Amino acid sequence: MPQALEHADGSWAWVVLLASLVTQALTLAFPTCIGVFFTDLQRDFQASNSETSWFPSILMAMLHAGGPLCGILVGRFGCRVTMMLGGLLASLGMVASSFSRSLSQLYLTAGIITGLGMCFSFQSSITMLGFYFVRRRVLANALASMGVSLGVTLWPPFANYLLEDLGWRGTFLVIGGVLLHCCVCGAIMRPVATNTAPETTATPAPPFKTTARGCLATCGLIIRHHLAFDILWHNTGYCVYTLGVTWMSLGFLLPHVFLVPYARWHGVDEDRAALLVSIFGFCNIFLRPTAGLVVGRKRFASYRKYLFSLAVLLNGLTNLVCTVSADFRVLVGYCLVYSVSMCGIGILIFQVLMDIVPMDRFPSALGLFTILSGIASLISPPLAGFLLDTSNNFSYVFFMSSFFLISAALFMGGSFYTLQKKEWRGREAKAKGAISEATPVKDPTLEDKDDHKKHLCSEVMYVTSV
């Protein structure tokens, strides 16, 4: 019996929004609590800062880099099945990691398996949200991103509480059970009837051409289709945005990983150090809905990419505070200001992508976008850990974070302005060319008078439409 389809902007869309909010709280916000386990993992496995840093970096890399595979699964099985599969993988990885006897086993279980499962659940929820909301898409993205704020607020104290009683192995086992709620959220994702449906074919070519092309050519066609290389080649705005966010990712994750060890290094007790990360999320619970209502207005539609660049710039400048002082009161003030920039990045990062690419290619564009960000997230924490091992100074970590964030903000802001200026010039040139074609060069003869009037009328109508 065929299943009835839900309608976009309907009543069930708000249930989907709630499911997406919970999914983001369980998945995208989880890496922020890794800093709570950092010291215990380092002590139990007798590892350096660089070796321990590979755990959160692999987790974040898989959380983003699994986007192309997620796009294929969404096109083949739909968002509901993909989200439930992601919940099972995330839970399985955390349960298996509680029995790890080496860091390499932890990399495989809690890093690769859990990260890939979180990717399936998180990116499927974002894709489904884009199809369920059309008129209020900006507000929906802002409200759903509150899940990240809730997760950042609750995960660190929750993990720290379990860590004191159960140790990191027992805590990972409990977290594995918590992540099964992603399966419940996935069950809520009913199919939606839209004018633009998600990609439903594994390859864009007909079956009879597949054998003629050969296996290698077919694989290349699939990769090109699902990684949106055509968009990257023809859409300059998407190219600029992807490169900018990739460069930004090299520095954005570092405060979430190293803030708690930095505070504990300077004498802040464990509970207060974990509270610092929770401040990020608590402030964003109130900031994101308000910012979403403001940014969702039509007058701000053409300025969202500049607001995103401004938020990244503020984020980079704020990190310089940690290089000046490690006093707890100073760190609280740092977290409050950092929350504002984190709010802007959180509510705009996917909305700007939806503004740049058409919605029917969004799953593929998101896949390439996240895999490049995942590579950056894989490199960044170990690189910072190596810098910390060689210098034994946390200030260099925050200097590194600020450099990548500030340079990425300047690159994106300057590039978007240049592209927009070039687009304005192109429109002016087309308008002038159309007007010059509409203007008669010489007086028409009596024989061509009627024909010339018809031609002139059609040209004027064209200029008006432009």
The residues, any chain, with a CB within 8 Å of residue 103's CB and separated by 6 or more, are 41, 45, 47, 51, 52, 54, 55
Q: What is the mean pLDDT of the chain?
A: 79
pLDDT of 221 higher than 80: no
Strand ranges (E), 153-218: 192-193
Q: How far separated are the first and last CA of the chain, in Å rounded? A: 48
Among 179-183, 189-193, 454-458, name the one with the lowest average pLDDT. 454-458
pLDDT of 451 higher than 60: no
Distance CA 212, CA 205 (A): 11
Give the residue-averaged pLDDT of 29-47.
84
Instruction: Tell me the residue length of the chain.
Output: 466
What is the per-residue pLDDT for 313? 94
Nearest to 198 by CA among 301, 79, 108, 33: 79
Q: What is the DSSP letter of 202?
A: S
- Span 299-347, pLDDT tens digits: 777 788 899 999 999 999 999 988 888 888 888 899 888 888 888 888 8
For residue 117, the cross-strand partners are: none
pLDDT of 75 higher than 50: yes
The encoded tokens of residue 302 equal: 């053409």
Distance CA 154, CA 280 (A): 11
The encoded tokens of residue 423 equal: 């687009």
pLDDT of 58 higher than 90: no
What is the per-residue pLDDT for 22? 92
pTM for this entry = 0.66
Asked whether the beta carbons of 224 and 365 are under 8 A apart, the reply is no
Distance CA 198, CA 190 (A): 14
Q: Give, in degrees to the nearest 5, the angle at Cα 339 between 336 and 343.
A: 155
The encoded tokens of residue 114 equal: 């859990």
Distance CA 177, CA 190 (A): 24
What is the per-residue pLDDT for 437? 65
Asked whether the beta carbons of 382 and 55 are under 8 A apart, the reply is no
Distance CA 340, CA 315 (A): 8
Q: What is the largest CA-CA distance in the chain?
A: 99
What is the per-residue pLDDT for 193? 66
Q: What percent of the chain has pLDDT over 90?
A: 19
Nearest to 121 by CA among 85, 168, 147: 85
What is the per-residue pLDDT for 157? 85
Asked whether the beta carbons of 312 and 292 are under 8 A apart, the reply is no
The residues, any chain, with a CB within 8 Å of residue 11's CB and separated by 6 or more, are none
Distance CA 14, CA 11 (A): 6
Among 35-44, 239-248, 430-439, name the one with the lowest average pLDDT. 430-439
Q: Tell me, what amino acid is at 250?
A: L
Decide which of 212 and 134 is more confident. 134
What is the per-residue pLDDT for 465? 32
What is the per-residue pLDDT for 91? 94
Indicate the Cα dihedral angle 44, 327, 324, 284, nearest 10°. Answer: 80
Q: What percent of the chain has pLDDT over 70?
A: 82
Give the residue-averaged pLDDT of 119-130.
86
